[in-house]
Chain A
Amino acid sequence: MSPADTNRELVEIFTAKATAVNSVVQEVPSLEAALQYVVDVCESKLPAEILADEPDAEQGPPGPNNMPTRVKRIVAAPDLPENEFSSLAQLCAAKGFACVRDGLRKHLAGIDVGVSCADFAVAASGTCSVNTDCEQTRLAGMISEVSVIFLHKSKIYPDLPSIAQLLRQRMGESPATFTTFISGPSRTADIERVAAVGVHGPLEQHIILLED
């Protein structure tokens, strides 16, 4: 099998397994399309609920959990390269969304969309590995109602054993401290074994597959 075919197959498996654990997987032709996807997701979702006190936040009508909602939506993208972040910030500004890359501890009550980038991924379980050394990146993936991960198709590997060396290298980078595997949105089955998503972290997990 040619490398292209192999990768095609891995993309298919990854997509199937990620979808099976409630991730939304979307292939896009360009980075611009990926950034546009983030803005579209933010625009189409219900505004984020403010789950705890946040004195400076302007409050809109109550959301599904009877918590007040954000009037100004927030997109966080701490680990996007400078130029990509600027493009995203422009798109957000046009829609009236805040686009931030730090200061997320001010918004622990919840934000709308958190963007992060996967180092590599595992097809067999639909898993993304994200470098979360940066506290802001970690928070973006935890406190957002919708988490969006950018993943380059060429970074998909077959299974857990095949990423052992990558993981070891990743954790060997100085000063690596925190690596996170993510397979779908936050979930629980602790009440009567009934599946429910969004118990602590994101209500939705989106994965954008980028060409190289």
Chain B
Amino acid sequence: MHEAPNTLSDYRKQINEALQDDFLRKTLDTFAVAYRANRETIFKEVDEQGLIKQIADARDAACKRLEELYTQFKAEAEKRGVIVHRAATAEDANNIIARIARDNNVKRVVKSKSMTAEETHLNDRLFADNLIVDETDLGEWIIQLRHEGPSHMVMPAIHLSRYQVADDFTKATGVKQDSDIQRLVKVARVQLRRKFIAADMGISGCNFAIAENGTITTVTNEGNARMVTTLPRVHVALVGLDKLTPTVDEALTALLVLPRNATAQRLTTYVSWMCGAGECSINKDNKKILHVVFLDNGRTEIAKDPLFSQIFRCVRCGACSNVCPVYRLVGGHKMGYIYIGAIGLILTYFYHGKDRARVLCQNCVGCEACKNVCAGGIDLPRLIREIRSRVNDEQGGETVPALLGAVMSNRKLFHTLLKFAKYAQKPFTGRDVQFQRHLPAIFLGKHDFKALPAIAAKSFRDRWPEIAPQVSSPKFRVALFSGCAQDFIYPEQLEACVKLLGSKNVAVDFPMTQSCCGLPLDMMGQRKAGIDVAKQNVQAFSNGKYDAIITLCASCASFLKHSYPHLLEKESSLQYAVKDFSEKITDFSSFVHDKLNVTADDFNNNGEKVTYHAACHICRGLGVKEAPRELVASAATYVPCEEEETCCGFGGTYSAKFPEISAQLLENKLANINATGAARVVVDCPGCIMQIRGGAEKRKLPFKVTHIAELLAENLKR
């Protein structure tokens, strides 16, 4: 069993080891690509968004009635001969199960897959009582033989090769085993059948605990749960309280999504619905001894939390791992403790404590891929940021982010420091761009996998008085939200935007008291400073009667639009202004495409081959997909790129915290861009530009990296 990392440097060492595991890398790469395609196909048959909404609503409602559902379940199950227990802690649950084993003179136990039993470390407790315990899910059995924890919630042994499994089976059987997968599966068939037959007690998990008739449900492909619940004379189901649901209807709805999301199946091979102690011919009264042990372990508290209660929507499908670009690189052992992936980072905090979560919860690049596929529509990236903030509040964070927070909540000090940094830096010149350190990560660690940009000689805010367009009787009145990167590093991107807007008869304003959007602060768990800058920004824009507030940074846009209302929910005097502000936030491409309705007629298309990188926060954060691609196609020859919507690895401060992962994500992105043969890649986000341009510069790759605004402004007809 692996341990959760204690320090960031330990964690980075572990991550480096994982990055060197060629088998793991290849397996997870193949899986990520295949999963994406298979999932898309299998979801075409159902209303994905409608079902996710239904699951979320049903889970939220159940969460509010947890005690009532528990009471109802208990009454119904007891009517049907089931003994129901409730354990306050993991230790209590383990003790209850150990006692059931003792009372029933149990020697051998077989288990079907249960993440809840992993959560409580049940096996260790049973071993302590000298019980023989065998996992029977093939993947779980393999990792049990290796004394490892699962590396995926649905495919626990996905990190292992057939050769490793053959070695383990050779040891387990004392007979040399072939590495042919079909043969290995049959070795398990033979070995595990004997264990099923010999067992006195079966332990299962439970996917849905249905209150209306006291039913527990298991969902499996292998059929091992059927064996575990049928062959031994005693059956114990260990069930998280969050699995309680009122009726069979919600379970059936969830079954439309769970297998599709987990493994791109319409339904798993077996779903067992057990409502009561059934026939068992080896017991004297011909009845199964059936115990259901409900585990609390913090769940009743989570259920009351207005924000975190949404984690009860999790159906344990593992999709958040399947699409996570970080999981894809480092695997589950480095992306969670017991629970894996985005949900794992969150559940570790609640079920296994803040010490185990403190370092792990930093490892989210914030790309929102998980949020986009979650069966319960959980806002996973936001909850992970929230955990960081709680960890910081509870035990004091690292010094550097706190310092950065203090500096950034004072705009004038922050901006003065930025301007001063241009004198302090020692720039070297790239082909046509200056590279040096970047901000706000100027305060953070070093990276050498990409060239870093220099602070511009003159910031956008200093250029503004000269370039503000003069427009008479404007079609629209807009304000620009520049974000730090474009204001101080890439002012030319904003200038391109201003040029285009001016030519289309749009009046542009640039409120000078605007500051950093606050996302870097939130990524580092600096909540208070984040709220301060958010307030400054809302106030900076509150006096203009703008048709839209345009930003060229997708990350800023997504944060301003979706996170400000949460961040400022306690600022009662600002509520109207916040709503107005966030509603008006519009990304550059959407404004130009949807409001200005520009077409190919507006551009001198010189046939330049241009590909596109969809920034995480434009394609998922804002759901903007068509507008930028159509704009590229109207000003150039658009060539699509493989994995266009996969994260480039920037993630703001993430790339400073986890440079090795960031570098590898960038490597993959550059290879895909290069393979298109395009002369240029355009992006809607200066963070991605910093990352991709820095990588391309370092490797001397033959393509330009620019903001989409620059492509459009360059090709604009006069």
**What 0/1 readout, one digit per residue, does chain B (146-170) give for beta carbons within 8 Å of chain A?**
0000000001111011100100000
Bound Cα distance A56, B541 (Å): 87
Bound Cα distance A125, B256 (Å): 10
Q: CB distance A201 to B162 under 8 Å?
A: no
Starting from the known contacts A21-B269, A65-B190, A201-B223, 18 additional A-B residue pairs (CB-CB under 8 Å) come to A21-B266, A108-B193, A108-B196, A122-B267, A135-B281, A171-B248, A171-B275, A176-B275, A177-B276, A178-B275, A179-B275, A181-B267, A194-B162, A198-B189, A199-B223, A200-B222, A201-B226, A201-B270
Please name all residues of chain A whose beta carbon is closer than 8 Å to the beta carbon of B212 when the two chains form the complex. 168
Identity of the chain B residue whose Cβ is nearest the Cβ of A179 in the assembled complex: B273
- The B115-170 residues at the A interface (CB cut-off 8 A) are 136-139, 142, 155-158, 160-162, 165
Bound Cα distance A108, B190 (Å): 12
Would you give 13 A-B contacts (Cβ < 8 Å), ordered by A? A21-B266, A52-B197, A124-B266, A125-B266, A142-B226, A159-B256, A178-B275, A181-B271, A189-B263, A191-B138, A193-B30, A198-B186, A199-B223
Please name all residues of chain A whose beta carbon is closer than 8 Å to the beta carbon of B253 when the two chains form the complex. 160-161
Please name all residues of chain B whose beta carbon is closer than 8 Å to the beta carbon of A183 when the two chains form the complex. 266-270
Please name all residues of chain B whose beta carbon is closer than 8 Å to the beta carbon of A17 when the two chains form the complex. 266
**What 0/1 readout, one digit per residue, does chain A (170-191) give for beta carbons within 8 Å of chain B?**
0110011111111111111111
B555 within 8 A of A: no
Of B177-185, B409-417, B468-476, B637-645, the segment with at least 4 beta carbons within 8 Å of chain A is B177-185
Identity of the chain B residue whose Cβ is nearest the Cβ of A134 in the assembled complex: B279
Bound Cα distance A142, B270 (Å): 11
Identity of the chain A residue whose Cβ is nearest the Cβ of B45 in the assembled complex: A124
Bound Cα distance A178, B182 (Å): 31
Query: Given contacts A160-B256, A181-B267, is CB(A190)–CB(B273) below 8 Å?
Result: no
Closest CB of chain B to A45's CB: distance in Å?
16
Q: CB distance B230 to A177 under 8 Å?
A: no
Identity of the chain A residue whose Cβ is nearest the Cβ of B259 in the assembled complex: A125
Q: CB distance A164 to B248 under 8 Å?
A: yes
Please name all residues of chain A whose beta carbon is closer than 8 Å to the beta carbon of B248 when the two chains form the complex. 164, 167-168, 171
Closest CB of chain B to A20's CB: distance in Å?
8
B272 within 8 A of A: yes
Q: CB distance B186 to A180 under 8 Å?
A: no
B302 within 8 A of A: no
Bound Cα distance A123, B279 (Å): 30
Please name all residues of chain A whose beta carbon is closer than 8 Å to the beta carbon of B213 when the two chains form the complex. 168, 171-172
Bound Cα distance A124, B266 (Å): 8
Q: CB distance A191 to B190 under 8 Å?
A: no
Q: CB distance A181 to B270 under 8 Å?
A: yes
Please name all residues of chain A whose beta carbon is closer than 8 Å to the beta carbon of B185 when the two chains form the complex. 188, 191, 196, 198-199
Q: CB distance A135 to B278 under 8 Å?
A: yes
Query: Given contacts A133-B279, A175-B276, A199-B223, is CB(A186)–CB(B269) below 8 Å?
Result: yes
Bound Cα distance A124, B162 (Å): 34
Query: Given contacts A160-B252, A181-B267, A186-B269, is CB(A193)–CB(B31) below 8 Å?
Result: yes
Q: Choose among B187, B247, B274, B279 the residue with the greatest number of A CB atoms under 10 Å from its CB.
A: B279
Q: CB distance B263 to A182 under 8 Å?
A: no
Identity of the chain B residue whose Cβ is nearest the Cβ of A49 in the assembled complex: B190
Closest CB of chain B to A131's CB: distance in Å?
11
A8 within 8 A of B: no
A69 within 8 A of B: no
Bound Cα distance A134, B230 (Å): 11
Cross-interface CB contact of A142 among B227, B247, B281, B288, cutoff 8 Å: B227
Bound Cα distance A183, B197 (Å): 24
The 9 closest A-B pairs by CB, nearest first: A177-B278, A201-B223, A190-B139, A181-B271, A125-B267, A125-B266, A135-B279, A190-B138, A186-B223
Q: CB distance A190 to B223 under 8 Å?
A: no
Please name all residues of chain A whose beta carbon is closer than 8 Å to the beta carbon of B136 when the two chains form the complex. 200
Closest CB of chain B to A197's CB: distance in Å?
8
Closest CB of chain B to A52's CB: distance in Å?
5
Identity of the chain B residue whose Cβ is nearest the Cβ of A163 in the assembled complex: B252
Identity of the chain A residue whose Cβ is nearest the Cβ of B273 in the assembled complex: A179
Closest CB of chain A to B609's CB: distance in Å?
36
Q: CB distance A177 to B279 under 8 Å?
A: yes
A192 within 8 A of B: yes
B188 within 8 A of A: yes
Query: Given contacts A193-B27, A199-B138, A200-B192, is CB(A105)–CB(B281) below 8 Å?
Result: yes
Interface range, A side: 35 or more
B224 within 8 A of A: yes
Please name all residues of chain B whose beta carbon is closer than 8 Å to the beta carbon of A75 when the two chains form the complex. none
Identity of the chain B residue whose Cβ is nearest the Cβ of A184 in the assembled complex: B269
A139 within 8 A of B: yes
Bound Cα distance A194, B138 (Å): 13
Closest CB of chain B to A102's CB: distance in Å?
9
A127 within 8 A of B: yes
Q: CB distance B194 to A51 under 8 Å?
A: yes
A3 within 8 A of B: no
Bound Cα distance A189, B220 (Å): 12
Please name all residues of chain B whose beta carbon is closer than 8 Å to the beta carbon of A167 when the two chains form the complex. 248, 252, 273
Identity of the chain A residue whose Cβ is nearest the Cβ of B54 in the assembled complex: A161
Closest CB of chain A to B28's CB: distance in Å?
10
B221 within 8 A of A: yes
B293 within 8 A of A: no
Q: CB distance A108 to B197 under 8 Å?
A: yes
A64 within 8 A of B: yes
Cross-interface CB contact of B267 among A127, A142, A175, A185, cutoff 8 Å: A127
Please name all residues of chain B whose beta carbon is closer than 8 Å to the beta carbon of A179 when the two chains form the complex. 272-273, 275
Identity of the chain A residue whose Cβ is nearest the Cβ of B274 in the assembled complex: A178
Please name all residues of chain B whose beta carbon is closer than 8 Å to the beta carbon of A172 when the two chains form the complex. 213
Please name all residues of chain A whose beta carbon is closer than 8 Å to the beta carbon of B271 when the two chains form the complex. 180-181
Please name all residues of chain A whose beta carbon is closer than 8 Å to the beta carbon of B273 when the two chains form the complex. 167, 171, 178-181
Cross-interface CB contact of B181 among A51, A133, A191, cutoff 8 Å: A191
Q: CB distance B162 to A192 under 8 Å?
A: yes
A109 within 8 A of B: yes
Identity of the chain B residue whose Cβ is nearest the Cβ of A194 in the assembled complex: B181
Please name all residues of chain A whose beta carbon is closer than 8 Å to the beta carbon of B192 when the two chains form the complex. 200
Q: CB distance A51 to B267 under 8 Å?
A: no
Please name all residues of chain B whose beta carbon is closer than 8 Å to the beta carbon of A105 when the two chains form the complex. 281-282
Please name all residues of chain B whose beta carbon is closer than 8 Å to the beta carbon of A180 when the two chains form the complex. 226, 270-273
Please name all residues of chain A whose beta carbon is closer than 8 Å to the beta carbon of B189 when the two chains form the complex. 51, 65, 198-200
A114 within 8 A of B: no
Q: Choose among B139, B263, B266, B272 the residue with the greatest number of A CB atoms under 10 Å from its CB.
A: B266
Q: Choose among A17, A65, A172, A188 the residue with the greatest number of B CB atoms under 10 Å from its CB.
A: A188
Closest CB of chain B to A56's CB: distance in Å?
15
Q: CB distance A178 to B272 under 8 Å?
A: yes
- The B41-55 residues at the A interface (CB cut-off 8 A) are 45
Please name all residues of chain B whose beta carbon is closer than 8 Å to the beta carbon of A100 when the two chains form the complex. none
- The B24-82 residues at the A interface (CB cut-off 8 A) are 27, 30-31, 34, 45, 80
Query: Given contacts A199-B138, A199-B188, is CB(A193)–CB(B277) below 8 Å?
Result: no
A110 within 8 A of B: yes
B249 within 8 A of A: yes
B666 within 8 A of A: no
Please name all residues of chain A whose beta carbon is closer than 8 Å to the beta carbon of B263 when the two chains form the complex. 189
Identity of the chain A residue whose Cβ is nearest the Cβ of B279 in the assembled complex: A135
Bound Cα distance A192, B138 (Å): 12
A31 within 8 A of B: no
Bound Cα distance A100, B713 (Å): 81
Identity of the chain A residue whose Cβ is nearest the Cβ of B231 in the assembled complex: A108
Identity of the chain A residue whose Cβ is nearest the Cβ of B267 in the assembled complex: A125
A67 within 8 A of B: yes
Identity of the chain B residue whose Cβ is nearest the Cβ of A65 in the assembled complex: B186
Bound Cα distance A172, B256 (Å): 23
Cross-interface CB contact of B222 among A67, A122, A199, cutoff 8 Å: A199
B315 within 8 A of A: no
Q: Choose among B80, B197, B256 the residue with the greatest number of A CB atoms under 10 Å from its CB.
A: B197
B280 within 8 A of A: yes
Identity of the chain B residue whose Cβ is nearest the Cβ of A139 in the assembled complex: B230
Q: Choose among A164, A172, A187, A200 the residue with the greatest number of B CB atoms under 10 Å from its CB.
A: A200
- The A110-151 residues at the B interface (CB cut-off 8 A) are 110, 122, 124-127, 133-135, 138-139, 141-142
Please name all residues of chain B whose beta carbon is closer than 8 Å to the beta carbon of A181 when the two chains form the complex. 267, 270-273
